[in-house]
């Protein structure tokens, strides 16, 4: 069973900067799908970087599948965790789509046939098999985002981390991504400003502000709490706002009639 554990973690990018993560303690296990929400600068992206070992100069303890995150364990940690970056260009480095998606399985010791099967399956999962021979530089922003996801799915990590996964996606590919994430069985941690997306994909949500947990609980309860969200620099999900406006409109019309 997959496990994540963060115990009393503090982090700043340099000794001269304020702390980005403060006394952070949090746990997850099994096949939880967890949203991380907060205003700009709340610490969402930093938290994901800490989990995958991209930032190691932290105080406290981070455990991934019972392994402490440190220099000695990075190889195993990154076998267990797949991280989909917000900026696809920071993650894609091969010239051709197929080569980028195949890179992960190739470096995990699979046979040539296994690499082929895993690469093809990842492309099919994300519905981009038709892009397999395309040059990366010719892709749209949305296509790059889907290729980035396929590069992670190809080596089948236990835990998936997503940083703003809907950036650059059109409505059709956004719906496709929701369906895909809901079909995956492993643990998923999704940091996003897209609260409607969080509502559609996560059962549990963590609201953070200034690097601290404000509330950790049921997604529906947190995302319906207008005051809680506004107090922490967020607004109700767009679909909730529209629903509220429709109810108000009907109610006002009924009173007038």
CA distance 144 to 75: 25
- pLDDT recorded at residue 250: 44
What was the pLDDT predicted at 16? 76
Kindly report, residue by residue over 42-90, the tens digit of the pLDDT: 999 999 999 999 999 999 999 999 999 999 999 999 999 999 999 999 9
119-173 pLDDT per residue, tens: 999 999 999 999 999 999 999 998 999 999 999 999 999 999 999 999 888 998 8
Helices (H), the chain: 44-51, 74-80, 97-106, 112-125, 141-153, 171-183, 195-201, 219-223, 226-231, 238-256
CA distances from 180 to 34, 87, 122 (A): 15, 20, 11
Average pLDDT over residues 85-108: 94
**CA dist 245 → 224, 236, 254 (Å):** 14, 12, 14
pLDDT of residue 109: 85
Predicted local distance difference test score (pLDDT) of residue 253: 52
Pick the more confident residue, 8 or 247.
8
**Which structure tokens are listed for 202?**
């996560």
- Tell me phi and psi for residue 210, to 5 degrees: 50, 40
Per-residue pLDDT of 199-252, as tens digits, reads 999 999 999 999 999 999 999 999 999 999 999 999 999 887 665 554 444 444
H or E element in which residue 82 lies: strand 81-84
User: For 91, which DSSP code?
Assistant: T
Q: How does DSSP assign 176-231, residue by residue?
A: HHHHHHHH--SEEEEE-S-HHHHHHH-SEEEEEETTEEEEEEEHHHHHT-HHHHHH
Q: How far apart are CA 201 and CA 191, in angstroms?
A: 11
Model pTM? 0.89
Helix (H, G, I), strand (E, B) or coil at 47: helix
Check pLDDT > 70 for residue 255: no
Q: What is the pLDDT of residue 45?
A: 95
Q: What is the helix (H) or strand (E) element at residue 37, kind and residue range?
A: strand 33-37
């Amino acid at each position: 069973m997959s496990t994540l554990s963060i115990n009393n973690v503090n982090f700043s990018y340099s000794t001269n900067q304020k702390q980005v993560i403060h006394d952070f303690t949090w746990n997850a296990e099994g096949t939880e799908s967890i949203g991380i929400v907060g205003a700009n600068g709340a610490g969402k992206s930093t938290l994901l970087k800490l989990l995958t070992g991209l930032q190691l100069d932290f105080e406290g303890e981070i455990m991934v599948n019972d392994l402490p995150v440190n220099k000695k364990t990075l190889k195993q940690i990154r076998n267990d965790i797949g991280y989909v970056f917000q900026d696809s260009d920071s993650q894609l480095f091969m010239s051709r789509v197929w080569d980028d998606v195949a890179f992960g399985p190739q470096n995990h010791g699979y046979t040539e046939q296994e690499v082929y099967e895993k690469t093809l399956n990842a492309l099919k999962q994300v519905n981009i098999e038709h892009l397999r021979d395309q040059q990366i530089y010719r892709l749209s922003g949305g296509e790059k985002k889907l290729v980035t996801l396929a590069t992670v799915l190809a080596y089948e990590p236990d835990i998936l981390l997503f940083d703003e996964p809907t950036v650059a996606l059109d409505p059709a590919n956004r719906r496709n991504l929701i369906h895909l994430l809901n079909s995956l069985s492993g643990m998923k941690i999704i940091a996003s400003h897209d609260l409607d997306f969080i509502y559609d994909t996560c059962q549990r949500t963590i609201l953070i502000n200034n690097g601290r947990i404000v509330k950790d609980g049921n997604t529906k309860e947190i995302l319906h709490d207008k005051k809680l969200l506004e107090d922490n620099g967020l607004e109700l999900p767009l679909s909730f706002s529209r629903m509220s406006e429709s109810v108000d409109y009907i109610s006002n019309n009924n009173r007038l009639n």
